[in-house]
Amino acid sequence: MRNKILIFDPEIFDEQSVLEKMKYRTNDPLATLHKVEDLESFSREIIYGSPWKIIIVNFQTPEFWDTKPSDIEKFIKSIREFQNQFFEIIAVTGYKNQISILSKLGCILHQKQYNGIHSDTAGPGNPRVITIEDIVSIASDHFKVSKEEIIGRSKKVKIIKARNMAMYLVRLFTKHSLKEVGVFFSGRDHSTVKKQIVTTKNEMSSDELYRGDFLILRQKVIILQNTDLVS
């Protein structure tokens, strides 16, 4: 059987880095990696592209936010229904409510924030805990709009883009729930926050400039995250 690696949500990973890190697991220089961005494509690959040697799932994506443990269990079991017994599921998550159930389901856990399993960039000492305020400040500086405008309810396109990107980054780099994010951003409800974040991800897939904004902001947050805390 040819060794193949399937990964859900390529944003978090670099293809070559994953292949390098996975060599010791596959022990096969011909191992190939296939990346998909949506659940429909992922399901299709599980059913028709199997067997896979390693399946990597990023549970920090919007598709899995606030998902019930019972639904995560069904998701993992559905994967195993279409696979043979010789494969591994690697789950990437930083959320406590997911870690417990995924561990019980026998997944290999990588509890790293958005840097991904291939990251070798962690700074010395304790990593900085990223706050909502940190991300709003970074977004404010990048998009040249005020923090108050990002947090507020302005409907100007430029401010909406900055706000939505900030919400997306908050969910990627912090452990705040959708409800908590909504409260911070002028009392929005959790469904509004989730809708705006999904809209942001869809827009990044069709707008290269907006995706470029995301990559720049993500790197700035990672740099801040890996900066030593000053006592």
pLDDT per residue as tens digits for the range 184-219? 999 999 999 999 998 998 898 889 899 889 989 988
Q: What would the pLDDT profile of 1-35 be if each residue is shown by its tens digit? A: 456 888 888 665 655 666 666 655 555 555 677 88
Cβ neighbours of 205 (radius 10 Å): 12
Q: Per-domain residue ranges for the chain?
A: 4-110, 132-225
Q: Residue 38: its pLDDT value, please?
A: 83
Where does 4-110 sit in CATH, by number?
A: 3.40.50.2300
Q: Are 219 and 137 in contact (CB under 8 A)?
A: no
Task: State the pLDDT at residue 27.
Answer: 58
Say which CATH topology domain 132-225 has: Chromosomal Replication Initiator Protein Dnaa; Chain: A; (1.10.1750)
Separation of alpha carbons 7 and 132, rounded Å: 29
HEC string of 11-69 equals: HHCCHHHHHHHHHHHHCCCCCEEEEECCHHHHHHHHHHCCCCCEEEEECCCHHHCCCCH
Reported pTM: 0.57
Give the residue-averaged pLDDT of 43-65: 84
* pLDDT tens digit sequence for 67-98: 888 999 999 999 988 886 678 888 888 777 78
For residue range 106-135, what is the model confidence (pLDDT) as tens digits? 888 876 543 333 333 333 445 678 899 999
